[in-house]
Amino acid sequence: MHYRFYEEKKMTVDTHLGEIAPSSHTSMDSAVQTLTEHKDAWIRTPLATRLAIIDTLITDFASLAQRWVAAIAQAKGLDEHDPLVSEDWGGGAWPVLLTLRQLRQVLSDIQQDGHPHIPGPVVTRPDGQVTAQVFPFRPYDRVLFPGVTAEVWMQPGVTVERLPDTQAISYQTKEQEGKLALVLGAGNVASIGPLDLLYKLFVENRVVLYKANPVNAYLGPLLTEAFRALIKPGFLDIVYGGADEGSYLCQHPGIDEIHITGSDKTFEAIVFGTGEEGEQRKASGQSLLTKPITGELGNVSPVIIVPGPWSQKDIAYQAEHLVSSVANNEGFNCNATRVIIQQRNWTQRTQLLKQMRHIFAQLPSRPAYYPGARERQQRFLAAHPEAELFGQQDQTLLPWTFIPDVPANQSDDICFTTEAFCSLCAETALEASTIVEYIQKAVTFANQQLWGTLNVTLIVHPATLKLPGVAAAIDQAIADLRYGTIGVNYWAGTSFVISVTPWGAFPGHSIEDIQSGNGIVHNTLMFSQLQKCVLRAPFRSLMTPPWFVSQNKVAYKLFKKLTYFETAPSWRKLLDIAATAMGR
């Protein structure tokens, strides 16, 4: 049965990059045929050859990184030297080379010892759950990310002794037949597509047909050039188009499995179809697909603010922390902060909100390059006419939108049930007589009231942790939060670019209630039985993180240098990067 995907309206910003024609059925059939003919060869490709391919990919991508970022800037309506383009070096180019560098190390470990090396301690928690510290991944990371650590929590039942057996499964088992994965690329962040297809190829051992999202299809020719070491031997191909082409490929008998980064609506359209018939199939659990599908989808991402004795500097720092997690990439991130949770009677709640407003008011409005942003914002404004707008608004510019004090007992409020996917966030407050009671209520609220399970952030002052029962309550909160990534004093969304950290929803969603998705990506240490990732940082970093909105000028230079650092890392280069980070 034929069905169409849910697709946003076409991009309204004139990119001047030229239209890329959709691939014909004949060309897509040819791509599937070529990949099918080489999928068995890929699973037999020795590690030495894979390492050589990765070395070539690093060289080739680095050689066009400047053009890659310039194309993104043009599509967003920015000059390529605008400090805001730091986001596209830091989120669009650097993660690709960082991932390739990590994959190279992991494949070398497998070649030497049969499994990836875990860089940090592996411990068993009192409740029996095993955690493995994965970041810092290498000594350089301790300098690049001072004080930042990350651990992966395994699914209950995994033991320390068994943990190596759960890594790099596709390299431990000798598959007899290769598989072809269709990767439906996202349109919002330029690194998502390359990272998704690298995961399928090198972690899950699939050849890949990548369909570029129409929003950033302009990057397709550059990706073809950068990844020719995989395309030439028939392990990867790239096609173009929208809903019709995606639908055709999803139903193609040559496709063995599907991965999508995007909307839950698109995911459901693939699985059940659209319209009334699609709703009926979803209600009865009758999937149109006979092949596996995974997805990294949206989220109403919360930040839980734990009350504490915050100084004025603390308030200024954390207000910028929150605003930056909304403003990054103009809010077109699935991990952008959408709901800030606070304790109603915390005396500094209003001070924090006041400082956030001050920062929003100073941020220039930006072109809303992603399709449908204005319409999504209007739906929120219709439900909340009291919303506060900051900045200019015209045919291309969209103001920053803040909706404070949304009643927490209105469970069907759009702020709690719908991902805004634009430059918008909300705030709500919970009644509680103690901090421990508040933490417990905030966890329940995030788990039960907010849509999605992708990422959540906790912010807690070190002095608060010393109060009776609070440290234990925070530890229990981390254990209880049903999110794929939990950030403690660091925006959980930054885990996306670290790459060694797995990225995806908390496991367990059914196809009928997919929310933030199923399956994971990134995860370069190749864990197969993980539950969540926990990212930790100091309450205030020694140096302001480069992704904070006040750091764009420094970040532009820094992330560009970090990108090229990954071509051949060295301590000499790191000293120069450290000097740049300090504004020298």
Q: CA dist 198 to 51, 183, 207, 376, 584, Å?
A: 13, 10, 10, 32, 35
Residue 357: other Cβ atoms inside 10 A: 17
CA dist., res. 76 & res. 101, Å (int): 28
Contact yes or no for 399/433 (Cβ under 8 A): no
**DSSP secondary structure letters along 258-323:** EEEES-HHHHHHHHH-SHHHHHHHHHHT--S--S-EEEE----EEEEEPP----HHHHHHHHHHHH
CA dist., res. 423 & res. 388, Å (int): 12
User: Tokens at residue 373, please?
Assistant: 């942003």
Beta carbons within 8 Å of 405's beta carbon, 6+ residues apart: 427, 428, 429
What residue spans define the domains of the chain?
25-116+173-296, 301-542, 552-581
Phi first, then psi: give them for residue 121, nearest 5 degrees: -65, 145
**DSSP secondary structure letters along 47-107:** HHHHHHHHHHHHHHHHHHHHHHHHHHHHHTT--TTSGGGHHHIIIIIHHHHHHHHHHHHHH
DSSP for residue 466: T
- Selection from 16, 190, 160 nearest residue 93 by Cα: 190
pLDDT < 70 stretches in the chain: 1-18, 584
Beta carbons within 8 Å of 105's beta carbon, 6+ residues apart: 137, 138
Beta bridge partners, 154, equal: 530
Contact yes or no for 342/439 (Cβ under 8 A): no
- Segment (H or E) for 144: helix 139-144
β-pair type (149-154, 130-135): antiparallel
User: Tokens at residue 475, please?
Assistant: 């530890």
- Selection from 532, 531, 583, 576 nearest residue 556 by Cα: 583
Beta carbons within 8 Å of 374's beta carbon, 6+ residues apart: 368, 398, 422
Give 421: exposed, middle or buried? Use CB within 10 Å, 0-12, 13-18, 19+: buried
Give the pLDDT confidence score for residue 40 in this predicted structure: 97
Contact yes or no for 406/428 (Cβ under 8 A): yes
User: Tokens at residue 45, please?
Assistant: 């490709």
Residue 53: other Cβ atoms inside 10 A: 21
Q: CA dist 25 to 22, 101, 244, Å?
A: 9, 36, 10
Q: What angle do CA 322, 84, 80 make, to 5 degrees?
A: 165
User: Tokens at residue 204, please?
Assistant: 């899950």
Phi first, then psi: give them for residue 341, nearest 5 degrees: -105, 130
Contact yes or no for 364/399 (Cβ under 8 A): no
Asked whether the whole model's pTM tops 0.85, one would answer yes
Alpha-helical (H) ranges within 344-434 are: 349-362, 373-383, 414-417
25-116+173-296 CATH fold: Aldehyde Dehydrogenase; Chain A, domain 1 (3.40.605)
Give the pLDDT confidence score for residue 8 in this predicted structure: 35
Query: How many helices (H) and strands (E) are present in the chain, helices listed first?
Result: 22, 21
CATH match for 301-542 among 1.10.287.810, 3.30.1960.10, 3.40.710.10, 3.40.309.10? 3.40.309.10
CA dist., res. 135 & res. 150, Å (int): 5
Give the pLDDT confidence score for residue 11 in this predicted structure: 31
